[in-house]
Amino acid sequence: MTRTLKELFEAERPEASSPPAPALVTNEKCTEQGDLTEQSSASEYLEGSPAGLKELSVNEAGTEDSLMSDLQLQNASVSESESMMLSKCDSDSLGNEGSRREKSPDNFIEFDTSKLDKKAADSSKKESSERQSYSSAEKTPTEREDSKEKAEPAKVNEPCGKIPAEKHTALKTCPSVGTSLESFDFKDNSSSNIGESVTMVEEAWERLKKSTVFFKGNPVGTLAAMDPTAESLNYNQVFVRDFVPSGLAYLMKEDDNQPEIVRNFLLKTLHLQGWEKRIDNFTLGEGVMPASFKVLFDTHQKETLVADFGGSAIGRVAPVDSGFWWIILLRSYIKSTGDHTLAELPEVQRGMKLILNLCLSDGFDTFPTLLCADGCSMIDRRMGIYGYPIEIQALFYFALRCARQMLKPERDGKELLERIDKRIKALSFHIQKYYWLDNTQLNNIYRYKTEEYSHTAVNKFNVIPESIPDWVFDFMPLRGGYLIGNVSPARMDFRWFLIGNCIAIVSSLVTPVQATAIMDMFEERWEDLIGEMPLKITYPALEGHEWRTVTGFDPKNTRWSYHNGGSWPALIWLLTAACIKTGRPQIAKRAIDLVEQRLSKDGWPEYYDGKTGRYIGKQARKYQTWSISGYLVAKMLIENPSNLRLLLISLEEDKKIAKPRLKRSTSF
Ligand code: GLC
C-alpha cells in the first residue's frame, strides 16, 4: 500500500479526538507514574521510499572557492590535498545540496593520499620502532570504596547469534606512546589491523542491525545497549541522542542504504512530542522532545510506545539536547535523501517551531546562551554543568543553523527566522568571545581586576582570578585553545568538554582560527584527551572535596569514570567530523586506530575508566549501540570525507550573518 506522507502522518495520530491540521494531537494521558502510552492507529508507516523524493542541484563552485580561501589563509599547515577535501566537503545551504542518491562524483574530491604514500611508508617503519608496550604498573582507575530490565526488544532483538561474545586477544602496543603525529601512517595500508578493521566493520553492522527496534513492523530506532550480562534499566530504550550516530550510519551507508529507519524515528519522536508531558502536577513545555522511548507489548501482544521526557530519568531532568539533535538529524536526513517533503510537512514545521520557541522566548536573560539544569544532556547526572554548558550552547547553535535552512517563512515563520538570525549572531559572538580560552586569554583572566562597574568593564562577569584552578595553567599549551565548559556571573568552568568543542567546529560556531587551535589542543594534550582509548568526555576529573560537593557523592561518577573524566568511544564520530572539517584527518585516523585495537575485543563497552582510559568502565554496559554506530560513522567519514556534507554548516553562510571580527590570538 502506498500512501502520501500526509496520510502517513495522519495515521500517526491517535484515533480519538484529533484536532484539525496542522496541530499535533496532544490528547494522550499521563499515567500515574508519569509514563505516557501511545494509542496510535493500526497502520503506521509507508512502505518503501518516501513520496515526492526531490532531486537537487549540487554545484556550489562559488561557495567552495570562498571557503577554500578562508580556510587556506587560516590554516596554512593543511596540506593541499587535505584542503581540497575540506573545501569540497563543506557545504552550502540545504536547498543547494545534492541528494546522495544522485551520486555526483564531481562535487567532492576524494581524499588523495598518493602524495602521502611514501611518507607514510617511511614513517610507519620509524613508528613501529618507536612504539612501546603497555606498562602494567598503572593503578586501578577509580577509588575502590566507590563504587537499566533485560531488553524486551520488539521482534528481532535476540542476542547476536553469529557474533562471538567476547574475544580475548592480547593488546597491541599503544601508538599513543612515543609516536609523533607527523610520522603517523595516515593511509595505514601497512597496518597489521587492516584486516581486523574490515571484520570489525562487518561485526559492527551486524550488531547495529540486531539492535533495531520495530514498532508495528517498522524500524523506528536502535536500543541503547544489548548487554546480556547486565540489568538493562533504561538501556532497553531508544535514546534520541544515542540514535543520532545510528541514524547517520544508515544515511551514510553506500550499499544497502536504509533511510527509512531515520525517517520513521523522526516521525515517531515528533509524534511523541505532541503528548502532554506532565511530571507530578507540572506540565512541561510543548516543544520538549523525549529523552528516550520504548515499545511495550501487552498480554495480547498489542504494541504501545512509552516515552520518557525526564519524568523517569535520574534527577527528573528534561533532555534539552534531544530537540536539538532531532533538528540536526532531520537536516542530515534531507541532505542524504533529498526528501524535502518531510521537512515541509506542516507537522514537522510545527515540531521545529515548538522546539525553538522553548529557547527563543523572551525572559530575564542578559546572555544569548541557554540556561540549563544539571544533567540535561549526554551528561545526564549531576556534574556541575548547570548554568550555560557548552554542549547545549553548541547544539543550540547547530540546531538554529539547521532550522534556519528548513523553516518556511510562511505565516509566523518570517518573524521566527528573524529571531533565529539575531540569536545566531549574538550566540556566536558570546561564545567566541567569552568561552574562548588560550594561553593569552588565560593570562588576561589571571590578571583580571575585579569589582568593575559599567559597560566598560573588562572582567564583565566579575570572575575572581583566584578561582582559576591550578591544573589549567599546566594543561594550557602555548599552541592551542578551547571553549571552556560554562560561563556565568563570577563563574568560569575551565573544564574541557569534548562534545561542545567538536560541535562548535562542525557547526562553524567557532572561527576557523579557533577550530584550528582546538585541533592543536588534541595534538598537544593527546595523553589527556585521547590517551589509550578515545575520548575523554570531560577533563580533568573532579576529585575529593570537589567531587563530593559538585556531584553530591555520586558513586557512578567517581574520578576518571563515566561522565567524570571517563573515555567514551561513542564520541569518535564527532572527533572525526571535526578533524575532516579542519583538514586534520590524521588526528582522527590515529584515534580510530586506538579504537580498533580494543573496542570489539572488549565487547563494545559504553565507556572506559582511568586517566588514560585503559580500563573497561566499572558500570559500563557492553554492546553499547552508539559505541558501535559511532565507530561506523567515523570509519565512513574517514574513508569518504564527502559524507561530512550531511553535517556541515558552511562558512559561506556565516558571511551572510554579519559577525563581529575577532582578532587572532597571539598564542597560535
Ligand atoms: C547514559 C548516558 C546517556 C545515554 C544513556 C543511554 O545514561 O549518560 O548520555 O544517552 O546512557 O546510552
Over the stretch 68-100, which tens digit does the pLDDT of each residue have?
A: 233 233 333 333 333 333 444 333 345 444 443
Ligand 1 contact via 239 beta carbon (within 6 Å): yes
**Cβ within 8 Å of residue 259, ≥6 positions away:** 50, 250, 251, 333, 336, 337, 339
User: What pTM was estimated for this model as a whole?
Assistant: 0.75
Ligand 1 contact via 599 beta carbon (within 6 Å): no
Residues across the chain: 668
Q: Residue whose CA is closest, atom 4 of ligand 1? A: 378
Cα(317) to centroid of ligand 1, in Å? Answer: 13
Distances (CA, A) of 19 to 10, 23, 277, 341: 11, 7, 18, 22
Ligand 1 contact via 380 beta carbon (within 6 Å): yes
- CA dihedral of residues 572, 573, 578, 579 (deg, nearest 10): 70
Query: Nearest-CA neighbor of 497 among 595, 571, 441, 591?
Result: 571
Cα(3) to centroid of ligand 1, in Å? Answer: 36
**Cβ within 8 Å of residue 618, ≥6 positions away:** 142, 147, 558, 561, 562, 609
Q: Which atom of ligand 1 is nearest to the CA of 239?
A: 10
Cis, bond preceding 164 (omega within 30 deg of 0): no
What would the grid cell of residue 41 be?
Answer: 492507529
Q: What is the pLDDT of residue 653?
A: 57
Q: What is the pLDDT of residue 88?
A: 40
* Calpha distance 519→526 (Å, rounded): 10
Q: Residue whose CA is closest, atom 3 of ligand 1? A: 378
* Calpha distance 309→371 (Å, rounded): 18
Type of residue numbered 530? I
* 220 sits in which H/E element: strand 218-222
Ligand 1 contact via 607 beta carbon (within 6 Å): no
Q: Which atom of ligand 1 is nearest to the CA of 379?
A: 8
Q: Which atom of ligand 1 is nearest to the CA of 314?
A: 7
* 346 sits in which H/E element: helix 346-360
* Calpha distance 328→9 (Å, rounded): 20
Q: What is the pLDDT of residue 226?
A: 95
Determine the Cα angle at 393 with ends 392 and 398, to 5°: 95
What would the grid cell of residue 54 be?
Answer: 526531490
What would the grid cell of residue 265 be?
Answer: 524515528
Q: What is the pLDDT of residue 474?
A: 98
Ligand 1 contact via 241 beta carbon (within 6 Å): yes
Ligand 1 contact via 268 beta carbon (within 6 Å): no
Q: Do residues 615 and 140 touch, judged by C-beta distance below 8 A? A: yes
Query: Nearest-CA neighbor of 578 among 627, 521, 661, 539?
Result: 521
Distance of CA 271 to the CA centre of its chain: 23
Ligand 1 contact via 242 beta carbon (within 6 Å): yes
Cα(224) to centroid of ligand 1, in Å? Answer: 8
Residues of the chain with confidence (pLDDT) below 70: 1-195, 650-668
Q: Residue whose CA is closest, atom 11 of ligand 1? A: 235
* Calpha distance 108→640 (Å, rounded): 10
Alpha helices by DSSP H, listed for 21-166, are: 61-74, 80-89, 114-130
Alpha helices by DSSP H, listed for 38-99, are: 61-74, 80-89
Cα(54) to centroid of ligand 1, in Å? Answer: 36
Determine the Cα angle at 239 with ends 244 and 393, to 5°: 60
